[in-house]
Structure 1
């Protein structure tokens, strides 16, 4: 009796996982594109370039540190987490001005920016 009940449930979860995986891949592509667009339109690129340190660290360095320390770029951009890349007082003071822009953004947009940054290699 248990096998009959578990089989349809197991089948449901297997089929659901394939559906969710496909949606995630589609969402990721659009998230990356939106994240890059937002990153550039919110003037983040004035201080951060993909692979070169300008005023702030490169996106490659940011992604590496956040991956290594398992930090949340979204929480940082919301002003809810301390910086983990540049901890120098002067650098963090500069970034505080920019956080006034990101603190008012939608969480979905911040997630897209984070995804874009985290995919820089």
Structure 2
């Protein structure tokens, strides 16, 4: 009985440890930080955002039009017109690739507006990397 008492006290003390917890609803690694400044690391972050939290992959594929234009088409047009893709993703610029799909894209601006400048630049760099 005495051993059982000490076991319960030990479990109680162990369970009362100070544990760091993330705020409710925050994913542990939803958007990984780039610790390197290399172009490859930024492209990798952009790809992770595109295929993860950004949900861009649902409408845009690398080589084909699905709901929205292909990534290569978007990147080519932005490069040719020397336009700012980040401005568009912040909803500060008009659509230049396929204005007819703009209303569909508007629903995603809440996601892109919450991204940092570093994340948006990584996303842009990833898209440009597909046309090289």
| Fold shared by both chains (TM-score > 0.5) | yes
- For the aligned residue pairs, the C-alpha RMSD in angstroms reads 1.3
Is 2:51 aligned against 1:40?
yes
Q: Which runs of 5+ in 1 are unaligned?
A: 1-25
Report the counterpart of residue 104 of structure 1 in structure 2: 114
Report the counterpart of residue 7 of structure 1 in structure 2: none
Distance in 2, Cα, partners of 1:74 & 1:27 = 20
SS in 1 for 2:68: coil
Structure 1 runs of 4+ aligned residues shifted over 6 Å read none
Q: CA deviation at 1:40?
A: 0.5
Distance in 1, Cα, partners of 2:92 & 2:50 = 19
Distance in 2, Cα, partners of 1:103 & 1:76 = 10
| Among candidates 103, 107, 110, match of residue 93 of structure 1 | 103
Greater relative contact order (CA < 8 Å, ≥ 6 in sequence) = 1
Higher alpha-carbon Rg: 2
Whose helix proportion is higher, 1 or 2?
1
Distance in 2, Cα, partners of 1:60 & 1:30 = 20
TM-score by length of 2: 0.69
Distance in 1, Cα, partners of 2:55 & 2:85 = 17
Q: Which runs of 5+ in 2 are unaligned?
A: 1-36
Query: Aligned residues, how many?
Result: 95
Q: CA deviation at 1:65?
A: 0.2
TM-score by length of 1: 0.75
Pairwise mapping of residues 1-121 of structure 1 onto structure 2 (< 5 A)? 27-41=38-52, 42-88=54-100, 91-121=101-131
